[in-house]
Amino acid sequence: MLILAGLGLEKGDISLRSLEYLKRCDAIYFDSYTSFVSGEYLSFLSDMLGKVIVPIERNALEDRVWETIKPAKDGDIGIVVGGDPLIATTHKIIISEAHKHGIKTVVLHSSSVFSAAIGESGLDFYRFGPTVTLPFWSENYKPVSFLKSIEKNLGNGEHTLLLLDIRKPGTPMTLAEAAEILAKAIKASGENKLGNVRFLIMADAGKDGAVKFSATIDEMSAYDGSRLAGKALCMIIPAPLSFAEKEALAAAGIIGF
């Protein structure tokens, strides 16, 4: 059997049902690519289960997925992921490969940044368009297409949840890095539609010590990043707000909208 279990957002979010399934596993792997989970949480989980949890990278779950899950034909293999399983395409590949080879699967859900960030923002869930990812730039990879996706959502009167990329090994993008990439992408695209837009910044949404505030790209660049050290960030680019949404943001002490 192949068991795909969500760890949620915070140490202790994993369900009792998930723990029971994982206790019987012959091996447990941690997907270290699609989300950020602290080493403290993994150590806590390992102690709870009395088992070693082995981090594995993206190619073991995509290019070499059959090699990874093959032992599940004769035993129980667990893969734990941050947040909620099956949201990432990688996890759907794992399940599809298991079904192809007749391996029974169990998916155990948990809390996710999608529900936590949108819920805690105070914005209407039904007014969100497609989610967008802000990728790290490299010398040979400098995409700007994500800007078009944001602008399309805004044109449709829809909010955008912007997920920030994770640098291996498990290091989330900082606010300064996000601001720099956004500014460079806007300049490279030759347009400036987002230059003065206020972003809703969500740090560690769904966790103790969560932080949220609004900022333009310039304000992000000047923000004291030490306040957000080690926190996983995401952003929301709001479309024009309804009266109820404005009230919710004001009640949360978030100004600028």
- Predicted local distance difference test score (pLDDT) of residue 16: 96
Distance CA 254, CA 252 (A): 6
Percent of the chain with pLDDT over 70: 99
- Predicted local distance difference test score (pLDDT) of residue 253: 84
Percent of the chain with pLDDT over 90: 72
- Predicted local distance difference test score (pLDDT) of residue 193: 79
- Predicted local distance difference test score (pLDDT) of residue 170: 66
Per-residue pLDDT of the chain (257 residues; tens, 9 = 90+): 999 999 999 998 999 999 999 999 999 999 887 777 888 999 999 999 999 999 988 888 888 889 999 999 999 999 999 999 988 888 898 999 999 999 999 999 999 999 999 999 999 999 999 999 999 998 899 999 999 999 999 999 999 999 998 876 667 889 999 999 999 999 998 877 788 899 999 999 999 889 999 999 999 999 988 889 888 899 999 999 999 999 999 988 888 88
Cβ neighbours, 10 Å, residue 95: 18
Domains and their CATH numbers in the chain: 2-108 (3.40.1010.10), 113-251 (3.30.950.10)
Token digits of residue 35: 């989300």
Q: In which residue are the tokens 């936590």 written?
A: 116
- Predicted local distance difference test score (pLDDT) of residue 62: 84
Summarised one tens digit per residue, pLDDT across range 217-249 is 999 999 988 889 888 899 999 999 999 999 999
Distance CA 233, CA 206 (A): 11
- Predicted local distance difference test score (pLDDT) of residue 169: 61
- Predicted local distance difference test score (pLDDT) of residue 203: 93
Buried b (16+ CB within 10 A) or exposed e, 160-196: bbbbbebeeebebbbbebbbebbbebbeeeeeeebee
C-alpha distances out from residue 105 to 62, 85, 97, 112, Å: 17, 12, 10, 21
- Predicted local distance difference test score (pLDDT) of residue 39: 86
pTM, to two decimals: 0.88
- Predicted local distance difference test score (pLDDT) of residue 48: 93
